[in-house]
Structure 1
Amino acid sequence: MPRTVTVGLDGSPESRAAADWAAREAKLRGLPLKLVNVWEPVPEPIAQAPLLGPETHQHWSERIPREAAEELRAAHPEVDVLIKHVTGRPAEVLTDAAKDAEPLVLGSRGLSGVGGFMVGSVGLAVVAHAECPVVLVRAEGDTSGTGSTVPPSRPVVLGLDTRAPDDTLIGFAFEAAVLHGASLRVVHGWNEPPYIAYGLPPDLELNARLGAEEAAAVSEVLRPWRQKFPTVDVVEDSLSGKAANRLVDASAEASLVVVGRRIRRSPLGAHIGPITHAVLHHATAPVAVVPHD
């Protein structure tokens, strides 16, 4: 089937912001934009209510993607906008839609007064099971539904694990930098020896040596990628401290944060991972979660 940039649309400001981001991504990639709206049948007690019956619910559900498509076509006339209206459970439908997506885009909600965002059970389920990269976009306080445009000069940020680097994840980040005409900031977090736990003063010489070794490991991983993408301006940041905290800090100046999700084929189900989970809930920029082996 033809590839599309696909976005889950439920009419919320967050999903409208995601749709606008996805439309700009579709233009850059030269792909159609597919709006997927899921109508989940209402429970039987509600279905019997005279003003909230299934026909009324479905009517409003179908109106959401139709109106959104009209707005997006007007704002992005060069993008072919498609609509897919599906009945079922949102997480299952969107995970299935991800099979033809490049990428799948969803909205995430900001929590007023709290340093974090609400990804929601549907978003987390899709991120944990989708076969393609999933991008989470927040409305950034904009309730008009149009979202906000991130300045193109902001870098793409990649979270890198030098102990288990993955080509799929790194390749996605470099390609995103090329696509967006941005630099690539590679963030690697490493932990200092636990001096405080033992009541000992820090060993500055040891810290410096460990920092140099970690920075060298980052450069070694990126060397072939710099050769493959010579036009990408790469900034390497090997910093002591928790990787999740460093990525969240970097997201304040990023156009996109790229993190990975290791595919685990086990009877216990999918797993997002603690660093990716933390970034999803606290990063201020759009976050791309790339599944990899």
Structure 2
Amino acid sequence: MTSPDILRSPESAIGRGAVVVGFDGSERSRHAVHWAAREAASRGARLLVVNVIRGPFPEVVVTPVSMPLPQLVGEQAVRAYTKDHLAELAAECARVAPGVDVDTRAFDGHPAAVLAEAGREAQLLVVGSTGATGLARVFAGSVTADLAHHFGGPLVVVRDSEDHRDAEYGRDTDDGRGAEDGRGADDGRVVVGVDGSEPSDRAVEFAVDHVSRHGGVLVGVHATTGLPVDAMAPGGAWGQGLGLGLDLDQLRTAADALVAESLAGPLSRHPGVRAERVV
């Protein structure tokens, strides 16, 4: 469903249970929408596409000298353009992920704030990667950075690539479809950092669930110096070359046990997932 209105703020729980994805009209965000559509289909979830437009909207803009007639771009014109654009995007999602329930909404506001609110009760919030250079990096990058720092739920930043390959879905065809079975190659690797903390446990749970649906191999990684923080500071024991009596084998064994323990619970709930540990 495509709303004809540019709303001022997301209504309560608009994204509850959905996969929510931000769209700003760029190719990188379009790629993110396609990724999110396939992800929603794999979860049996609704897809909510959110387009954020920054007002106010001027009523008239003078076009270049080669086109001297004024062009109406007030809110009514922006609303009509946005509705058509989102309807087109919804049709693309239906081709990319047949059967997925697609909902689209447009809002006037700060992109990061709107997306965070829309995704507050979502299964997942998805955004595109930043542009390579220039203003695209400044504006898109600030939204992604804001969400990474402040959004409390699962956040996926979809990186576009030159050949538009989705590692977990296979190569896109001309019509936007991925691999026939929607799964990636069996040797695809999903790498998750493990440190035993609560945020790390949530990341592990997410990664295991992802591999269970898309295939591949889960790789749990833990890295540590084994040193207290103050030893790493300028003038600390490490900087002065002082021996600290570290038993690297013991540290490695303890770290491997930490990774194994962190993976054990999620893997028991998804017994078909293959996993490796790297310390």
How far apart are 1:231 and its partner, in Å? 1.7
Distance 2:249 2:138 in 1: 35
Q: Equivalent residue for 1:275?
A: none
Residue aligning to 2:145: 124
| 8 A Cα contact 2:219 2:275, kept in partner | yes
The within-5 A match list for 1:202-241 is: 206-238=247-279
SS at match of 2:115: helix
Deviation, 1:57, is 4.0
Quickly say closer, same or farther: Cα 1:74–1:109, change in 2 above 3 A. Answer: same
Instruction: Give how far 1:178 is off.
Output: 1.0
Q: Decide whether aligned partners of structure 1 residues 111 and 207 sit closer, same or farther in structure 2, where only a CA change above 3 A counts.
A: farther
Alpha-carbon spacing, 1:175–1:82, altered in 2? closer, same or farther (3 Å)? same
Aligned-pair CA distance for 1:136:
0.7
TM (normalized to structure 2)? 0.70
Query: What is the deviation of 1:135?
Result: 0.9
Residue-pair matches, total: 228
Gaps of 5+ in 1: 239-293
- Give yes or no for contact 2:208–2:273 (8 Å, CA) kept in 1: yes
Whole-Å separation in 1 of the counterparts to 2:266 and 2:93: 36
Instruction: Determine the C-alpha separation between the residues in 2 that align with 1:213 and 1:119.
Output: 41
1:134 is matched with 155
Alignment of 1:139-178 (within 5 A): 139-141=160-162, 147-150=164-167, 151=170, 152-153=184-185, 154-162=188-196, 166-178=200-212
Please say if residues 204 and 262 of structure 2, whose CA atoms lie closer than 8 Å, have aligned partners that are also in contact.
Answer: no
2:119 equivalent among 93, 98, 103: 98
Larger Rg: 2
What is the identity percentage for the equivalent residue pairs of Structure 1 and Structure 2?
32
Query: Alignment RMSD, CA only?
Result: 3.0
Are 2:71 and 1:54 aligned? no
Q: For residue 21 of structure 1, report the CA deviation from its aligned partner.
A: 0.5
Q: In structure 2, do the counterparts of structure 1 residues 8 and 236 end up closer, same or farther at CA, with 3 Å as the change threshold?
A: same
Distance, in Å, in 1 between the alignment partners of 2:218 and 2:80 is 44
CA distance in 2, matches of 1:8, 1:132: 15
Q: TM-score normalized by structure 1? A: 0.67
Kindly state the Cα deviation for residue 92 of structure 1 after the two structures are TM-superposed.
1.9
**Contact 2:220 2:263 survives alignment (8 Å):** no
- Which residue is equivalent to 2:50? 36
Which residue does the alignment assign to 1:14? 28
- CA gap of 1:65–1:158, structure 2 versus 1, over 3 A, is same
For residue 83 of structure 1, what is the aligned residue in structure 2?
A: 104
Distance in structure 2 (CA, Å) of the matches to 1:118 and 1:92: 14
* Inter-partner Cα distance in structure 2 for 1:14 and 1:226: 33
